Structure 1
Amino acid sequence: MNKLKNNLLFKVILAIVLGILLGGIIPETIGRIFITFNSFFSELLNFLIPLIIVGLIVPSIGRLGQTAGKLLLVTVLIAYGSTIFAGLLGYSASMSIFPSLLENQTEQINLGEKAKEFAPYFSIEFPPFFAVMPALVFSFLFGIGLSRLQDSTFGKLADNFEEIITYLIQHLIIPLLPIFIFGIFLNMSYSGQVVTILNVFLKIIGIIFILHVTLLTIQFIIAGIIAKKNPLKMMQLMLPAYFTALGTQSSAATIPITLAQVKKIGVRDEIASFAVPLCATIHLSGSMLKIVSCCLALMLIQGMEINFIQFLGFMMMLGIAMVAAPGVPGGAIMAAIGIIASMLGFSPENQALMIALYIAMDSFGTAGNVTGDGAIAVTLDTLFKKKTIDNLTSTR
């Protein structure tokens, strides 16, 4: 029971269920209290998002630079390429499947108007210090500069700021998210559109699970061709890591199991010990596929304009920003939500639905990430032979 109380997915599901059940019977005076909280939480989230970006991306890029080398460069390029490929797969599959799958819901949802039926008692505005895009540009440039310094005061300051931001995510934002999501579904139930939303959720989750399996199959087929190994056997050996990630919802917490299974595939210790911890941070193909597909689904059902070039830029930025995601359940979506809002124009209500959808499938995305790490490790083991590995890792 204690485990359930501390499980974010359980809390989100409970919040959704309670919001649906109480939306039709709750007095307006009480409903407005939760909408008042949602108004305040939206402002808090918007205020913190640029700080989250700076606090997580700067030290992440700084630490990557300190281990610069050919092996690192190739690993980063493969991981980033795999993440972008996952986004393209999610985009192409979603644009092929979702328009017809969700066509009956397209005209039934208008979150921008419906969410205002419960009016907050009051609202407090506290704009962020700076917008999302300046935060991203500053983080990338400052992080690159920081990577060239050794034991600098700025580096220690960045690490401390990262600890503060991670603490706020874990002990403020994440604990309050279920209440925020409860308020959203309470309002949707009150306005009569919750059945449509749930129907959409179930369809999206089913399709994205199939896409995750497809993505892993492609990754291991490519790795199998390069390494001349059986992709199905490699996938079978990675199953313990997959199921461990389903339970922990954390790539970082799954590293010991992933490392052990990668070695069982036949990857050398020095490659496995380098690639697995690094890819746990920078390889987020499962999360990318999930976020892109969910964004497209929400945009389609509301008739929002979708442009491939815009989405390609969104995916490229997202692939970098999610590198900063802390190793906690829901960390990736918190690192990504600012880009989703700024580049795709998602309202606070849409952001809440994105968070709910993401957390509902968080286990699948994390499992896809860590299992795909095995395919990357196998590829690196083949590309970097024994005779060159010492030279390539000498700068680590």
Structure 2
Amino acid sequence: MLFSALLRWVQRTSLVTQIIIGLLVGLALAMLVPAATPSVAFLGTLFISALKAIAPILVFVLVMAAIGNHRPGESTHMRPVLLLYLVGTLAAAIVGVTASLWFPSTLVLQSAAQDQAAPGAVSQVLLNVVQSIVSNPVKALLEANYIGILAWAVALGIALRHASASTRTALQDGAQAVTLVIQWVIRCAPVGIMGLVAATFAEAGTQALWGYAHLLAVLIGCMLFVALVVNPLIVFLVIRRNPYPLVFTCLRESGVTAFFTRSSAANIPINLALAKRLNLNEETYSIAIPLGATINMAGAAITISVLSLAAAHTLGISVDMPTALLLCVVASVCACGASGVAGGSLLLIPLACSLFGISNDVAMQVVGVGFIIGVLQDSAETALNSSTDVLFTATACMAQERG
């Protein structure tokens, strides 16, 4: 009876509310019953282990399916929109990297994770990248070598574009199955976060709290800057008129709902309806909006770059300018492969962290931190991502009308 009531409550209550409750319960346990934290911390360890298990498969299958299901020679008339998506995501990554270098964040990680060797120069980083690319695909999956996983997923995806329709359908079904599994794992986030928060605050106290507050301020600040400064500048350069009426319309009618749904995919109907009210070209927005929910991920680029550099700063890894520029590109590419579920961008942080020689164990601890602050971070990230889909689609349509 009690279990049934609990199950009904979980089904009725949003994941955001559950995460907030888990965070507060974990904090209360750490402060009031510190002796109980070792037992509760096991839940956090279990949650992180589940993420570590599914993340490599998620990246491999989703990227391969996305490329494999694109029909060769298919005309989409999407070049202006795709260019805006690319420029916007890269600009967001640059903002995230710049802010992280100006206002470096450090995290409280397990002591065993502090002994990481920093790569020497950017040449060594690039050599490591090349070696990771040509790694055995099975070994890459087993060792969570995300650069190798990404390389093989792209190669196999291109090869499968010429496969039979039934094969490509099975590939898409596999991608949907993996996405469903990751949704199941993320539904356990409230319990996992309770264990993570209890263990972290019992050990580190207010030091960890300040680290999270600073990190969250950098993340939200970058997203606001992109939404209110960078994106309007890009729009102005394209349409040559005041961009803010369009920017505020997209933020109000798309960003607000996306903030609470925390899913770009779930916000697609909202964006399609908004595009129709804006009298945009239906042939353009009917393709651009769903595509943007998959690849236009400015908020994800910020999250990946900021959290990866936070890990580097925590471990005392010096980041020079060539490496920072490389991170901007990698964060942009990673963002395009971010999962459509809540917290999906966090699972791509290990790929960016691998540029600095940071182990998967440490990277997944950073992912855990991301889930702790994700109540606000992921909501703001999704709001930026989804509102930008409509903004750039409208910009491309307006530019076409002007031309």
CA distance in 2: counterparts of 1:27 and 1:201, whole angstroms = 20
| Per-residue deviation, residues 133-186 of structure 1 (Å, max 9, x unmatched) | 322111111112222345142x13312221221121111x20222332222221
The match for 2:173 among 142, 160, 167 is 160
8 Å CA contact 1:220, 1:231 repeated in 2: yes
Tell me how far apart the structure 1 counterparts of residues 341 and 306 of structure 2 sit (CA, whole Å).
22
8 Å CA contact 1:290, 1:358 repeated in 2: no
CA deviations on 1:1-25 (whole Å, 9 max, x unpaired) are: 9589642222222222222221244
Distance between the aligned counterparts of 1:4 and 1:299, measured in 2? Answer: 38
Normalised by the length of structure 1, the TM-score is 0.80
Indicate which of 247, 262, 265 corresponds to 1:235: 247
Conserved 8 A contact 1:49-1:132: no
1:183 aligned partner: 195
> Contact 1:286–1:368 at 8 Å: present in 2 too?
yes
How far is 1:78 from its partner?
A: 2.8
The normalised TM-score by structure 2 is: 0.79
Q: Using the alignment, how far apart are the partners of 2:371 and 2:265 within structure 1?
A: 20
Cα distance change, pair 383–150 in 1 and its aligned pair in 2 (3 A): farther
One-letter code aligned to 1:9: V
1:144 equivalent among 125, 142, 158: 158
| Counterpart contact for 1:341–1:351, Cα < 8 Å | no
Q: Which runs of 5 or more structure 1 residues have no equivalent in the other structure?
A: 117-126, 388-396
Which digits, 9 at most, give the CA deviation of each residue in 1:178-234, with x for residues without a partner?
Answer: 33222222122222x231222232333334333223212322232234223421111
Offset of residue 65 of structure 1: 4.6
Using the TM superposition, name which of 4-13 and 246-255 deviates more. 4-13
1:13 correspondence with 2:20: yes
* Aligned with 1:222 (options 229, 234, 238): 234
Is 2:283 the partner of 1:270?
yes
Q: Whole-Å Cα distance in 2 between the matches of residues 379 and 175 of structure 1?
A: 36
> What does residue 221 of structure 2 align with?
210
Report if aligned partners of 1:12, 1:181 keep a CA contact under 8 Å in 2: yes
Matches for 1:1-396 after TM superposition, within 5 Å:
2=9, 6-26=13-33, 28=35, 30-65=36-71, 68-69=74-75, 71-96=77-102, 98-99=103-104, 110-113=108-111, 129-130=142-143, 131-153=145-167, 155-171=168-184, 173-191=185-203, 193-217=204-228, 218-238=230-250, 239-301=252-314, 303-334=316-347, 336-344=348-356, 345=358, 347=362, 348-384=364-400
Q: 1:38–1:233: structure 2 CA closer, same or farther, 3 Å change rule? A: closer
Letter in 1 for 2:39: I
Aligned partner of 1:147: which letter? R
State whether residues 303 and 345 of structure 2, in contact with CA within 8 Å, keep that contact through their aligned partners in structure 1.
Answer: no
Q: Aligned in 2, Cα 1:62/1:201: closer, same or farther, shift over 3 Å? A: same
Query: In the TM superposition, what is the alpha-carbon distance from 1:240 to its structure 2 partner?
Result: 0.9
Q: Is the 8 A contact 2:63 2:337 kept in 1?
A: yes
Paired letter, 1:233: P
CA distance in 2 between partners of 1:235 and 1:349 (Å)? 36
Distance 1:337-1:35 versus aligned 2 partners, 3 A rule:
same
CA 1:94/1:317 → structure 2, altered by over 3 Å: closer, same or farther? closer
Identity of aligned residues (%): 22
Amino acid of the structure 2 residue aligned with 1:362 = D
**In the aligned structure 2, how far is the partner of 1:53 from the partner of 1:92?**
27
Equivalent pairs, count: 365
Q: Which residue of 1 aligns with 2:127?
A: none
Which ranges in structure 2 are unaligned for 5 or more consecutive residues? 1-7, 115-139
Residue aligned with 1:49, SS: helix
